[in-house]
Structure 1
Amino acid sequence: NKEGGLKEEQHELFDAKPLDVVLPLRKRISLTRMSDTSIWVTGESGSIYERFWNGLEWVIAPHDLPITSGRATAVFIINHVILAASEAGNLYQMHVQFGETSQTVWLDVTPTLNQITNNDSKKNPLVLLRT
């Protein structure tokens, strides 16, 4: 009997105890479109990858944060500046070092407590917004 089987299934669902519920692990990934030819992905592993069009094909380039920072949780762009947030709560800015072979490095730009609490606007470039 279809109706009887359905009632049994519903009964089992409503009889479940809170401890019996298993929630799936949250997947931590982010996808950011930087331009028409560049997409950045932060994977579950905390690695950052750029996927870009080089004129012939789509290429994947890794841009991992320093090992001491922990995993990356997000990557984003503000006014043509590429930023990444780490699991440790730090903020990093991508910087290109020019030379014989140009390479990118991540600079830690996490505000310190002194920067946040210093009210002298000449010493402190950060602006605190009051709500």
Structure 2
Amino acid sequence: TLLPQQLFTRSKRLISRLGNGNYAAGYFIFCFDNDNVLKLMYDGPDSSSLYWSDVDNTIFGNGRTSYNSNRVTSLDDVGRFSSSDQLEFSASDLGLGIKRRLTIDYDGNLRLYSLNYVTSLWKITWEAVLQ
């Protein structure tokens, strides 16, 4: 899980949990690949593959760039995510004073969550792969 103001760099990875209620390391990973671009990948016991961003498109066709040797991202307090590979997205409830977290869930989807203070439940405010 990535929290606001926490640096995420080339040497770090977000790894999913194995299943609902099973907190062992899972098979889905969010990281900078060797081409300096953030990717979601499956790395299971028998196979591995990239599945996001759009694997049928080029890096530049996805609006990204591999010309970024520093490989760093940030999630700000307002709910905006930005990366040196030009990946940008925002929470649907932009604003200060909301607790947030970016998590790769056990189903392999990368999601930005915001805490609803009334219900004390986490609400999805952005997701990489639309359901």
Establish whether TM, by shorter chain, passes 0.5: no
- Which has the larger helix fraction? 1
Question: TM-score by structure 1 length?
Answer: 0.34
Of structures 1 and 2, the one scoring higher in RCO (CA 8 A, sep 6+) is 2
Question: TM-score by structure 2 length?
Answer: 0.34
- Which has the larger strand fraction? 2
